[in-house]
Structure formats: structure tokens, C-alpha cells
A and B are shown apart, each in its own frame.
Chain A
Amino acid sequence: MKIKTTYIFSILFAIAMLASCYSNNCPLNNSVTCNYHFYDMEGNAIKYGDQIKVSTLKPGMKDVWVYKKLGYKTLTLDSPDSALVADGYSETKTQQRKDTVIVGQANSDKIQIPMSYYYNCDTLVFEYGSISKKDTIKINHESYPHVELPECGTYRFHSLKGISCTNAAIDHVEISNPVVNFDGAENIKIYFNGVAEQ
């Protein structure tokens, strides 16, 4: 009976020790981004060597000041500059779509870009270091809140509905995985013009 009692209390002690353990199961990688992977025209995964800057058009307009001078590059500034006027530039106040730079990187095989929470269409402008033309990618999507656990907070996941692009450097684009979450999986394939050298 003594052995039995010891046995039972050992089990109960183990239970008590286990009950004391606690871990937080919130995801470690909690940034929700749409992942664009790069391919050549034939579908081979590539590293795009050129500098890429991605900016997005935001809703609404903003005031800008445009300065022009014969023989000089036109300057567009977010605030007035009286020094340029004194230097002979003509000043014109006008309005532009709001935009912001999201990503700037070079020599990469993918690019991670966040998506808007409350708009159904994101417009991304791709600028290249060695190409004067720009590409514009439009992504239609639906956003919805996602709660993994109440203690982890709220995330905004997205469901991709459609995508289109211009073709300055891009041949075409396609959706490979419509669910945008924090898993880090590829969502969109960007096929650039040309074929990668083997």
C-alpha cells in the first residue's frame, strides 16, 4: 500500500508541475505582407539585379510646388522654396495624388509589400534604376480581421481577387496564392522581360 501511495503522489506531483507550465502561442512572424517573387519570361526564378523602388498611390490629393527654369530639370517639391524663385525658377502650385515609398531594394529574388486595410484596390508604382519607364501594378483584394488568439492581437489578412500591370520591364504577373497572411508564402509571380542567362 505504501508503494501504491508513493506512486499515486508521484503522479499527482508530476501533474502539478505540468500544470504550472505555460507558453504563449502567438505567431513569431506576425507581419502580414504580400510576397512577390521574380521570374524571367520562361518562368525561371531569378534575382533581379537592378535597383527597384516601389511606391504606392494613396487616396486623396496633396499640394505640390513645381519649379521650372529654361535649360534645367523641373523640380517638384512638397513645400515652397523661395531660394529657387530668387535663382530664376518659376513657381507653380498644383495638386498631385498622394504617394509614399514602401520598398527600395536591389539584387533580390522577391519583394514583400504590405497591403491596404480598408481599400479594395492597391496601386503600386515600380521604378527601376536603369530603366527610365515605370511599371504600375494594380491589385484588387478584400481585407478581413484575423485573430489567432485574443492575447496575440488582431491582424489584417487579405484575399487577392485580381491583378494587372503595365509592361515597361514586366512581361506579365499572376496570382499564385490568393491568401495573404503571416505564413510568408509566395502570393504573386512577376515575370520580367527577357530570359535569364544560364
Chain B
Amino acid sequence: MTMKELFFKHIILIAFLVQCGAAIAQTENENQEVLMPGETPKPTKYIAVEEQKQKLVFFQGFTLSVDAFGPLMSVVSDYGTIEAALRLNLKNTFLPIVELGYGKCNKTDDNTNVSFKTNAPFARIGMDINMLKNKFQDNRLYLGARVGVSKFNYEISGPEIKDPIWGGSKPFDVDNIDCTSTWGEIVFGAEVKIYKNFHMGWLVRYKSEFSSSKSKFAKPSCIPGYGYTTNSTCWGGTYSLIFDLNWGMKKSRKAGYNIEIRDINYDNNEQQNGTVNESESGTGAAEGDDNGSGGEGSEEE
């Protein structure tokens, strides 16, 4: 592996870590009240919470995404892809996906001067699962799997090989070697909302080659959509620009709580404290339990 490839690999990982951190921090901030040291929450209002009997809409629409990382890689390295994906959103949890793309590889080894060329379409099909507990928010943390296939022709050529005993030397060039490859992927990634229906996200892919049709001349050193076959497994990644196509699906249906707010009588502090304590220990505890179980139940439904 060249220094250039190592450098880009690490840059990608660092950027991914930063984005994951930002996504997680955003999620935490949404659910936490910010308090300075020594401050206590101010009991100003009595809040009654009732669970609404609303279910999460099963069909949440489609997302269409294009990869920005593959074209960049084709500029800076020997291998690159152009790909787009259509993802179905079921309850914001299960996300079946179809990915179609076109990959190219034009690699010449510096030491041996052996060249490998191919360009062909590829397809992947699979499913992601949104790992975040709160399914109502726009950010997502994915774990998923894919199965990929590509049917392609490749060309391999090399410099003259000299026969050390009988003598003679000839270069070689074998083209139109037909090959069909299949592979599997385990993917992990994050996606954050940028603006309205526009999201961006990283996906790291751990790939394993299942099969490739063999030729007596060479095995494919690079498979479109998979990458280099130097090892039986390899890593890849995509940086997706994602467009949420909700097609009329309303996010308001996601609201699972009805919150009632009433003013509190401030005339008697003791009474106020008692009311607050009473509400916290009595109604709050009872309703808190209801909210906890109700809220969870609503999400899981």
C-alpha cells in the first residue's frame, strides 16, 4: 500500500469519527437541560404529560443519495466509483436499500509495470437498521449489510518477460477476460440533517469477496464496487449526499406526547414547595412511570 493510499484512509477515518461525535453530541443536547454548577432546576410550572395513542407511521418515504467519495477517489487514486442509492424508510428503523453504480480501475504497479484495467457497472442490495433509540429525530446511526455483484471484463498487460534458458522475450496483453464477482458487506455509518430534507452521512464498509470466476491468465485485482482484491477482505467507504423524499409523509405523526402546562400559585413558598414535592412525588412519579413505559411503548410500536 502506498503512502498516498494510507494517508487518505486515515483522513477518512478521522473525518468519520468527528462526524459521529457531532451526531452523538447533537442527540445528547436535544435531551438535556443545561445547568451551571450550583444551580438547581426551577420549579416554575406544573407539567402534566399524557401519552397519546399514536403509532409511528410504517412507511416513512424514500431517500435518494449520491456518493461524493467515490468520484473523489477516482481523481486521487487508481480506483473510483460513481454510485447512487435508493433507500426505503420503514418506521425510521428498517431501511432496505438498493445501490447502483459504475466503477473503474486503471492500475499499474510501479515495480512490476503490470497493468490492470476494468470499468463496469455494479449493484448492491441490503438493509440498514437505525440504531438510535429515539426514532423521531432526523439523525441516524446505521448498522447494515449488503450483497454486491458485478459482471465485468478486464484487461491485463505487462512488460517483456525474458526466458532465462531458451532465450527470447515478449510483452503480453490479454484483454476481454470475462468475470462475475459477488461479495458481502457489513456497513456502519452516521447521517445528520443539514437543511430541511437534505442530509449528509458517512458509511464505512467492511467487505468480503464471496466468489469470482477464474481465468488462467489472471484473477481480477480490482472489482468494480468492491475494490482491490489484494486480501480476501477490504475496507471501503461512502460519503453520501442524501435527499429525503417524504412524499407527503408528515413528521407530526411522530409526536407521541400531549403536554399540558398550567401556572403554579407562588403566594405561599411552603405550599409551593409542597405542591412541587407533591406533584413530583405523587403525580410526577406515577406519570413519570407512565411516560417512561408509554413513551417507550410508543416508539417500539
Answer yes or no: do A and B interact: yes
Q: Count A-B pairs with CB separation below 8 Å.
A: 113
| Contact residues of B between 179 and 238, Cβ < 8 Å to A | 188, 204, 206, 216-219, 221, 229-231, 235
Q: For residue B28, which residues in chain A have a CB less than 8 angstroms away from its CB?
A: 1
Given contacts A144-B216, A152-B112, contact A116 B163 (CB under 8 A): yes
Contact of B16 among A12, A18, A102, A117 (CB under 8 A): A12
Q: For residue A3, which residues in chain B have a CB less than 8 angstroms away from its CB?
A: none
B218 touches A8 (CB 8 A): no
State which of B89-97, B168-176, B289-297 sits at the interface with chain A. B168-176
Q: For residue B219, which residues in chain A have a CB less than 8 angstroms away from its CB?
A: 148-149
B24 touches A157 (CB 8 A): no
B48 within 8 A of A: no
Q: Interface centre among A5, A9, A58, A151, by most B CB within 10 Å?
A: A151
A145 to B216, CA, bound (A): 9
User: Interface majority SS on B: helix, strand, loop or mixed?
Assistant: mixed
| Contact residues of B between 59 and 97, Cβ < 8 Å to A | none
Min CB distance B4 to A, Å, is 13
Q: How large is the interface on B (under 10, 10 to 19, 20 to 34, 35 or more residues)?
A: 35 or more
A71 within 8 A of B: no
| Contact residues of A between 16 and 34, Cβ < 8 Å to B | 16, 18-20, 22-25
Q: For residue A144, which residues in chain B have a CB less than 8 angstroms away from its CB?
A: 216-217
Q: Interface centre among B107, B161, B229, by most A CB within 10 Å?
A: B161
Min CB distance A86 to B, Å, is 36
B231 touches A146 (CB 8 A): no
Min CB distance B169 to A, Å, is 8
Q: Interface centre among A8, A18, A114, by most B CB within 10 Å?
A: A8
B9: nearest chain-A partner, CB-CB: A19
A122 to B166, CA, bound (A): 9
Q: For residue B229, which residues in chain A have a CB less than 8 angstroms away from its CB?
A: 149
B172 touches A150 (CB 8 A): no
Q: For residue B156, which residues in chain A have a CB less than 8 angstroms away from its CB?
A: 147, 150
Q: For residue A145, which residues in chain B have a CB less than 8 angstroms away from its CB?
A: 158, 161, 172, 174, 217
A15 within 8 A of B: yes
A149 touches B13 (CB 8 A): no
A35 within 8 A of B: no
B161 touches A117 (CB 8 A): yes
Given contacts A22-B1, A23-B231, A118-B170, contact A154 B161 (CB under 8 A): yes
A154: nearest chain-B partner, CB-CB: B158
Q: A116-B166, A150-B156, A154-B159 are in contact. List 17 more A-B contacts (CB 8 A).
A: A9-B17, A12-B13, A16-B13, A20-B6, A56-B165, A58-B167, A116-B165, A117-B166, A117-B170, A122-B166, A147-B218, A148-B218, A148-B219, A149-B221, A150-B114, A151-B111, A157-B216
Pairs A–B under 8 Å by Cβ, sample size 12: A8-B20, A15-B13, A23-B231, A56-B165, A116-B163, A116-B165, A119-B166, A146-B218, A149-B230, A152-B112, A154-B159, A157-B216
